[in-house]
Structure 1
């Protein structure tokens, strides 16, 4: 999205940084001098523990700032213009949220933390080459100590996320507030929205035989019996589940009725008692055993084991032949792409809309060209109106094997924001501004109640917010 004034740019930047906190309470006195890269102490008393800030029950170490630099660099972020003061401010904000989350009895389970930790480790290993190189890069003694430190960091991050979510969850915006927000900008100051397109697809999945389905059902029933006889559901999920998003954490998910899981899964999960295991449940992803570990009002802690029936070579060949035939019918004018999607596509989410993909970020069908997922962009960016991609095979880790064709349904050129045409985008910006103000108000209140210290070498930092209470 491209904007022509600083107000919108600042709004988006604030949203990306996810809000700040304000004020401070006390300063740690140290004999130090300020350095533009990293504060270095003069001769004299040294900080043995390297503590540079305290927020409530949490401390921020100089090494925490070093670690943030390492993480950013591992993610290929240019850190040249990122100062230690900026990172300290972000860390202090996180500690404020985490501290308040504990005061508000927000709970983060070890399983949630372990799941994200494994994802983070996998990411770093992919970037750096191996676990040994990762440990060396982050300057840790061994893998165990690296995991211990990463575990605590991720736990605090999740506390922060849940506290932020709690603060803004109740923030809503009315049509009148959206109108007032938009009216603040004169004709020349209104933002430009980038070129967009709507993309449609038709999906054909190989037909799985009843014999293969029964094999999976029988295996899941065996696992259920083993668990009822004393085996660990957690261990069974780690060993056998084919869900890449949860198998390493023993199949764990936290869910409510609003969690975007498929209907069949949610219906069964909410019908179970605490400690109960379901019979095998069929969804578009395969077959599941669902175990309800804990019920907290309308929130469930569940574990599941996903198994997928095997797809035969013949079934794959038949699916490919079917998608080729559908494509030919569309190109010949026998049927439109949208009608073919409604009658032939095996993808429930897009079938009723004529194959239109939903943008998960905006919940609209339009995608900005600059924000298209790379795997989609490479397939459609050269398509002309009315053209269709060649059939291609996709093996999704969760949905399994399928064959697809894609087409560009509509194109929308770059344009200046219109209240009627771009209402949802404008509403989203207005809501974000209101959320930022709510977070700021919350922070101003909570910082007054929270014990805070900042080391002297950082007191001259120009924080985004008034941590120094000046």
Structure 2
């Protein structure tokens, strides 16, 4: 399977995120069923929407075979979805609900945290938006699970990696951009006891109003700092043990059905929690989150504290890794010396696009093995912090080679092997399914070749 197919497959997996915004587009397309796979169908509007999104991502430089390749991938996904039903590959409703809540939260954040703005843009209520997300998400998660099961035994040896690399024409080896290795130490501002007491009192007042008959969901929408769950009346859906922060989880499992907790403090702020239902080790809760806000004095104190740590690091009296382990609030990097990982690949080798503008500008003024001055930082969930950046290393742009880029080439070879396994599986699977392709689209040779 070539690179175009691999990239396009990833693109199509991500497409489900945008489906709620497509109704106007679909109405412009004279719709019809173009493929049937058992009880599942592919509509002309699905193909046209996917193709349009592909064109938008290519800056006008489209592959001439793109539309056929997109339809081929849509068919591949429908075959996996239909076969998953036969093989009883199940994605639980709780997982689908949780993913829908996460995506709705992200959509609200991208709309500037304004729920009404999102509703106006899409012409739908938040409840309707979430409802339209559920089926595409269920299909997407099921397909991902099927892919994982099909390719679970994919393995590649060092000799196969070398063989894969040597088979690539020299003029086709990718030219890799500059890569950065960067670590951070993140320290949230410590708020005063007075501010914490203010927040706890506010939540206790809200609790009193709920007990007096006011609607929990309405008050969550009005007061909660957790914008994603606030849009759902504070509901977090069903979660198992280990899925929630310890303080929240412990308080939730101690509650009786429909009971409301006292204010509970966690790393995110203070929660008012109501247990809606418990099913064994699964709990369905809703909450109202209010974050204490650090004062200007709190920020000055935090900045001084971080600067004192920087002085010790620069003088070699303290290693950056130890400072991170003892003081950093970033749990994802606390145990790996503070290394920042790419959200796209999970790698510690970052490219310019992995950084926000201000971070990139800061790194541009630094040399490898240097530590930045204390920098103000706001976390994605709105918490004020101060951080230090440690610029570990930077590699120059270069053409891919085995010495410098073995891991990337290994992953490409592994991906190629996984693709071969998927191809073999597909040819076997289609013999068990009813497939009907509209004659106008059969010219793509959908069944004959992937």
Separation in structure 2 between the aligned mates of residue 97 and residue 222 of structure 1, nearest angstrom? 52
State the SS of the aligned residue for 1:201.
strand
Long gaps (5+) in structure 2: 14-28
Structure 2 residue 139 is the aligned partner of structure 1 residue 157: no
Matched, 1:401 2:384: yes
1:417 aligns with 2:402: yes
Alpha-carbon spacing, 1:155–1:180, altered in 2? closer, same or farther (3 Å)? farther
CA distance in 2, matches of 1:317, 1:425: 43
RMSD: 4.6
2:10 is matched with which residue? 16
The structure 2 residue matched to 1:307, chosen from 290, 305, 324, is 290
Q: Distance in 1 between matches of 2:402 and 2:247?
A: 40
Decide whether the 8 Å contact of 1:201 with 1:356 is kept in 2.
yes
In the alignment, structure 1 residue 368 sits paired with structure 2 residue 355: no
Q: Distance in 2 between matches of 1:238 and 1:195?
A: 44
Aligned residue for 2:164, secondary structure, equals coil
- 1:43 corresponding residue in structure 2: none
Give the corresponding residue for 2:26. Answer: none
Report the CA distance shift for 1:310/1:13 in structure 2 as closer, same or farther (over 3 A).
Answer: closer
1:124–1:134 contact (8 Å) kept in structure 2:
no
Look up the match of 2:299: 316
Partner of 2:218: 235
What is the alpha-carbon distance in structure 2 between the residues aligned to residue 351 and residue 118 of structure 1? 26
Change (3 A) 1:434 1:243: farther
- Please point out which of 61, 65, 70 is paired with 2:47: 65
| Other-structure match for 1:81 | 62
- Per the alignment, residue 460 of structure 1 pairs with 443
- Aligned mates of 2:366, 2:107 — CA distance in 1: 36
Relative contact order higher in (CA < 8 Å, ≥ 6 apart): 1
- 1:373/1:338 Cα in 2 relative to 1: closer, same or farther (>3 Å)? same
Matched pairs, number = 417
1:55 aligns with 2:55: no
Distance, in Å, in 1 between the alignment partners of 2:166 and 2:337 is: 36
1: CA distance between counterparts of 2:277 and 2:449?
Answer: 40
Separation in structure 1 between the aligned mates of residue 97 and residue 157 of structure 2, nearest angstrom: 41
Between the aligned partners of 2:52 and 2:132, the Cα distance in structure 1 is 14
Tell me how far 1:404 sits from its aligned partner. Answer: 1.7
Q: Give 3-state SS (helix, strand or coil) of 1:246's partner.
A: helix
Q: CA deviation at 1:394?
A: 1.5
- In 1, are the aligned partners of 2:225 and 2:291 still within 8 Å (CA)? yes
Deviations 1:141-161 (A, max 9, x none): xx249996x667633320222
Change beyond 3 A, Cα 1:407–1:324? same
Q: Counterparts of 1:257 and 1:428 in 2: how far apart (Å)?
A: 33
Cα displacement string for residues 417-439 of structure 1 (whole angstroms, at most 9, x for unaligned residues): 35xx9786566556545554554
CA drift of 1:59 comes to 3.6
Q: Is the 8 A contact 2:97 2:237 kept in 1?
A: no
